[in-house]
Structure formats: C-alpha cells, structure tokens
Chain A
Amino acid sequence: MTEQQLMALLPFMVLAAASIVIILLIAFRQGHTVIQVTGFLLMCLVIFAMWYVRGVLPQTIAPLLIVDGFGALFTGLIVFCVLVVGLFSYIYFEEREENPREYYILIFLSTLGAAILTISRHFMSFFIGLELLSISLYALIAYLRTRNNAIEAGIKYLVLAALTSAFLLFGMALIYMETGSMDFAVIAQRLNAAGKSSALFLTGFGVMMVAVGFKLALVPFHLWAADVYQGAPSPVASFIATVSKVGVFAVFLRFCQELHLQNNSAVMMLISAVAILSMISGNILALRQQNLKRLLAYSSIAHFGYLLVAFLPGNNTGVEAAVFYLTAYAITILAAFGIIILLSPGEKDADSLSMYRGLFWDKPFMAIVLTVALLSLAGIPLTAGFIGKFYVLTAGVEQRAWLPVIVLVITSVIGLYYYLRIISTIFADSPVTIQKERSLNQFFYTASYAALVVLTLLLFGIGVMPAVIIQGIKQFLVIDR
C-alpha cells in the first residue's frame, strides 16, 4: 500500500478511531457532555480530513476499496447527517435519563459501515460494510431496552435484516459462480466478454435486490419500515432514514454503474416495477396515517421510489439527480425528525398527530420548521424538495421512461394530500400544550435550535439557488473519471 493510498483512507481511519476514542472516554468515566462534544469534534475532523486529502483522489486500493469523488461525496453527506443526529441525541437521551454513552460508539460504528459501503468495489467490502451498519443498528434500535416497543422493533429488524443478508450472500455466490470474480470491475469485464447476460446472473442479481430493497425499504420489502420507525428511538429512526439508506444506495448505484446495467432491459424492467410499486403503495399507505413517525416511514418508501426513477437512466444526469435528491431528502427528513425529538416528552415520543394540534400557536418556531420540512417533502416550489423532484423528472423524461414518470407525477399529487393534512393540523386552533418534565443545560437547546435554523435555511437555499449545489456535485463526480 502506497503512502497516497493511506492518505486517501485517512477520513475513514479517523472515523474508525472515533469509536475507539469514545470507548476510552467511557473507560475513564467521562460524562455524557464530554462524550457528546468529543464525538462532534471527531466528526468535524472527518470532514476536515476529507477536504485535506481531496488532492490525492481518486485512489484504488485493490481489490477492496476505491476512494473517488463519488465515495467522498456520499461519505460527506453521511457524516453531515451523523453530526446533526448526534446533536439531537443529546437532548433526547438526557431527558430520558438513560445511560446513553455506549450509544455513541454504536452510532460511529454504523457510520463507518455506511462509509465503507460508499467506497466499496468488491463483494467482500460490500458485505462487511453492510453488516457493520446493520449489526450496530440492531443494538441501536433496541437501545431503550426497557421499552417494549423498542425491543419489538429491534427483533423485527434483526430477523429481517439477517434473513435478507443471507439472500444477498446467495445472490453474490451465484454471480461469483457465473463470473469467477467478486470484483465489480472484473465482473463487468467477464459479463461483457460473455455477450448477453445469462439466466444465472439475472437470478443472482434478483436475489441481491431482496437485500437492497429491504435496506432501502422498497416495495415489496417495506413491511418493517413503519414498525421500526415507530418503535426505535427518534434519533435512531432519523439515522436509519438518512445514513443507512444513503450508504446502501451509494453502493447499489456504484454496482449498477460499474456493470452498465442500464443496458440490460430485464434488470431495468425489474427496477422500474419496484419503483412504480414503491411510489404507489408508499403514498397510499400514508394517506390515513395518524402517527407522524409511521407517516414519515411510508413517505420514505415513496421517496425512494422517486429516487429509483432518477436511477433508471443510469447516465450522468441520473447520478447527479440521485445525489441531489438524496441531499435534499436527507436535510428535509433531519429537520422533521429534529422537531419530533425536541417535542418528545420524557416517557414516549411525540409521534401522535393529535399532539401537533395547534402547534403554531404554542411553539411558532418549531411549527414553521416542521411546515417547511413537510412542504419540501411534498415538493412545493422554493424548497429543496421541489428542485430534487424536478431534476428526477428531467432525468426520467430524458430517458423516455414514461410510465415511471407519469406514476411519479400522479403519486406526488396524492402525497400532497397527507402533507397538507399535517400542516392544517399544525395551524388549527385549540392548541395542545406538550409539557416537558425537566429542562437541561440551555447550551444544547440553543445548539439544536441553531441546527434546525441551518437545516431550514439550507432547504430554502437549495430551493432558490440549486445551481451552487449542482455545480459542487458535478465537480465531485468529475474526480471519478
């Protein structure tokens, strides 16, 4: 391994070191505040390291990893999400008086898993990254272990994730038999040499799609999403909605790009069928939902259906659209979950829609942030969600994927109904006051409010001036080639 390759891996080493540092801090009996602040600084260090090594990219660390602009972009997005989730976690766990210190170890480990996914170019690193991500997530979901809901969500996620990762391995084994290699690039070479794709490869890919579909909560593997979002602690739910999905989507995108699967009509048919089903059923299931966390779960199913429409073209526009959409979606969902976390009273989470009745008259700031987030999810102009959806539509139309595009437009209209229903609840009169039992150090409230303000400004900023972000994404993706 050369010096430059080590340099390129620096951000990931810092990320791996972060969980060890936290373990040491716990061994020396440091408090929650110290761990929280150290974790925040370490994540900032990862972003700094990423910026520091940008000159040596792209680097291939054969045969497992490749650190290029694509990986750096997704890792940056993941670390940004973790920064925000970590900030919100302090208040959430401090109010519940649970001992939250090991929580940060698990969060950083699963972030490392997601980051490895974004830079993997081999089945082995794909599998290791995925399992690092999901094994930490099992423990995170069941973290509040005295709550029945958390345990139930943990077991459901555990059984299904273990089941689907066995499917993933089965698919990998079949592709390995067909091509004799686990390296994405070599697989692509052998498949090209063979001419047309064989039935064995298609079977293997289909079986692998079970695991990818599960992680991204695509129909028909979406049944866990609502239960896990509802049962998991809110910061963990926001972590699943952002970090885990971004990581898995990144590796899926890289796999399909490397193998040029957009030229394979059978695979494209499969993916567009999944996209259409996800858009339709996600939006329809969300229609009559009275629980905000479940509603966000169903809306995330629909959103990843939209994202697959951007994915279908498989060309550069598609990749840009997908990255842009993911960024906008991550910011939006973090803002929405931030409000849920800040409003949650001690015992349970603020997930019932009735708790939000008249929120505007009680806490206008939070109501406005939540409204902006919901408008962005619905794709109303001037918010990031609109530009994201527009970009996705453009990519779909360019490729003449008419059916998915039409379904996207129709289901977006259906989606508008339930987002607006929540907004009308927020602005209804006769407010319900949510009482907080105890208040903490003012500093962390200020920090969380500041984070919410930044997220909201980003939503508007991207919505009004998308060109800045798009330029940035393009520059990063150029490092690839």
Chain B
Amino acid sequence: MPIQYYIAFAATLFCIGVVGVLTRRNAIIVFMCIELMLNAVNLLLVAFSKMHHAAALAGGGKNVTTGVEGQLFVFFIMVVAAAEVSVGLAIIVMMYRNVHSVDVNFLNRLKN
C-alpha cells in the first residue's frame, strides 16, 4: 500500500481529534479526542518506520536497523499519553467536586 494512504488516514484522524477538542464541551470527551490525535501520530510513525526500513532493505542491506527509532518512539508516546491521562482525570475529578459538572463552559471565572 502506498505511503500516501497512511498519511491521508492519519491526517484525517488527527483532524477529527482537533475538531473534537475545539467543539466538544465535555472534559472527558475532549480527553478522548486528544488520545485520538496521539494515536494518529503513532500510526504515522509506525508507517514511516516501515517505509524507511523497506527502503533500506531495498538498498541492499541485511539486518538493517534503519527505521527502528520510529517504532521505539511510539512506545514512549503511549507511556506519556497514559501518564497525561491519569493526571488529567485526577484534575477533572477535582473539578467535578468543586462545580458538580465536567462541562468546560463552567471554566470562565478567570478574567480581569
């Protein structure tokens, strides 16, 4: 499958995520949309990693490790995303205790 398909698919997922973050008002759904964006990037990285690896193999190398860092990076992103969500959910729970809602529209008290 040509690389363009992967790029188009990942870009679409990423855009859905961005639109979700910008339009949805529920903090939990906003979080899900951010996860969607991160996973779009993961997909992209794995596809590029495979692409570079295939190119190196076609270039005549054996046992080449080209492209392995793309997949390595994906593991780091997954770990960080999990950490981010756990801290984020804790803050959302605090918000629920204070205002009894997870609607981000309630967050408008900070102004001049």
Residue among B30, B72, B84 making CB contact with A131, cutoff 8 Å: B84
Among B25-75, those with CB < 8 Å from A are: 27, 30-31, 34, 37-38, 40-41, 44-45, 48, 51-52, 55, 66-67, 69-70, 72-73
Residue among B21, B67, B77, B104 making CB contact with A169, cutoff 8 Å: B77
B110 and A153 contacting across the interface, CB-CB below 8 Å: yes
Residue B16 lies at the interface, judged by CB distance under 8 Å to chain A: no
Nearest B residue to A138 via CB reads B87
Complex interface: chain A residues within 8 A of B94 (CB)? 142, 145, 151, 154
Q: How large is the interface on A (under 10, 10 to 19, 20 to 34, 35 or more residues)?
A: 35 or more
Residue B107 lies at the interface, judged by CB distance under 8 Å to chain A: yes
Residue A294 lies at the interface, judged by CB distance under 8 Å to chain B: yes
A155 and B51 contacting across the interface, CB-CB below 8 Å: no
A162→B33 CA distance, assembly (Å): 10
Q: Contacts A127-B80, A180-B52 hold; do A138 and B95 have CB atoms under 8 A apart?
A: no
A146 and B37 contacting across the interface, CB-CB below 8 Å: no
Residue B99 lies at the interface, judged by CB distance under 8 Å to chain A: yes
Residue A278 lies at the interface, judged by CB distance under 8 Å to chain B: no
A291→B17 CA distance, assembly (Å): 35
- How would residues 429 to 447 of chain A score, 1 for a CB under 8 Å from any chain B CB and 0 otherwise? 0000000000000000000
B95 and A155 contacting across the interface, CB-CB below 8 Å: yes
A151 and B98 contacting across the interface, CB-CB below 8 Å: yes
Residue A479 lies at the interface, judged by CB distance under 8 Å to chain B: no
Among A143-202, those with CB < 8 Å from B are: 145-146, 148-149, 151-156, 158-159, 162-163, 166, 169-170, 172-173, 176-177, 180-182
Question: In the complex, how many angstroms separate the beta carbon of A81 from the nearest chain B beta carbon?
Answer: 23
Complex interface: chain A residues within 8 A of B84 (CB)? 131, 135, 138, 162
Complex interface: chain B residues within 8 A of A142 (CB)? 91, 94
A166 and B45 contacting across the interface, CB-CB below 8 Å: no
Residue B5 lies at the interface, judged by CB distance under 8 Å to chain A: no
Complex interface: chain A residues within 8 A of B66 (CB)? 180
B30 and A166 contacting across the interface, CB-CB below 8 Å: no
A146→B21 CA distance, assembly (Å): 26
A124 and B73 contacting across the interface, CB-CB below 8 Å: yes
- How would residues 80 to 111 of chain B score, 1 for a CB under 8 Å from any chain A CB and 0 otherwise? 10011001101110110011000010010111
Residue B23 lies at the interface, judged by CB distance under 8 Å to chain A: no
Contact residues of B: prevailing secondary structure: helix
A152 and B83 contacting across the interface, CB-CB below 8 Å: no
Q: How large is the interface on B (under 10, 10 to 19, 20 to 34, 35 or more residues)?
A: 35 or more
- How would residues 115 to 134 of chain A score, 1 for a CB under 8 Å from any chain B CB and 0 otherwise? 00000000110011001000
B87 and A139 contacting across the interface, CB-CB below 8 Å: yes
B91 and A158 contacting across the interface, CB-CB below 8 Å: yes
A316→B3 CA distance, assembly (Å): 41
Nearest B residue to A179 via CB reads B52
Nearest A residue to B7 via CB reads A177
B92 and A155 contacting across the interface, CB-CB below 8 Å: yes
A290→B95 CA distance, assembly (Å): 27
- Interface hub of B34, B52, B70, B91 (most chain A Cβ within 10 A): B91
A173→B42 CA distance, assembly (Å): 9
A301→B45 CA distance, assembly (Å): 33
Q: Contacts A142-B94, A151-B95, A163-B34 hold; do A169 and B41 have CB atoms under 8 A apart?
A: yes
B109 and A149 contacting across the interface, CB-CB below 8 Å: yes
B109 and A158 contacting across the interface, CB-CB below 8 Å: no
B48 and A176 contacting across the interface, CB-CB below 8 Å: yes
Residue A289 lies at the interface, judged by CB distance under 8 Å to chain B: yes
Complex interface: chain A residues within 8 A of B83 (CB)? 131, 135
A296→B48 CA distance, assembly (Å): 43
Residue A95 lies at the interface, judged by CB distance under 8 Å to chain B: no
B21 and A173 contacting across the interface, CB-CB below 8 Å: no
A138 and B45 contacting across the interface, CB-CB below 8 Å: no
Nearest B residue to A231 via CB reads B110
B34 and A159 contacting across the interface, CB-CB below 8 Å: yes
- How would residues 11 to 34 of chain A score, 1 for a CB under 8 Å from any chain B CB and 0 otherwise? 000000000000000000000000
A177 and B91 contacting across the interface, CB-CB below 8 Å: no
Question: In the complex, how many angstroms separate the beta carbon of A287 from the nearest chain B beta carbon?
Answer: 12
> With A138-B84, A151-B98 given, can you name 6 additional A-B contacts, CB distance below 8 Å?
A135-B83, A149-B109, A152-B95, A159-B21, A166-B14, A172-B73
Closest 3 CB pairs of A and B: A166-B37, A169-B41, A227-B110
Binding site for A on B (CB under 8 A): 3, 14, 17-18, 21, 27, 30-31, 34, 37-38, 40-41, 44-45, 48, 51-52, 55, 66-67, 69-70, 72-73, 76-77, 80, 83-84, 87-88, 90-92, 94-95, 98-99, 104, 107, 109-112
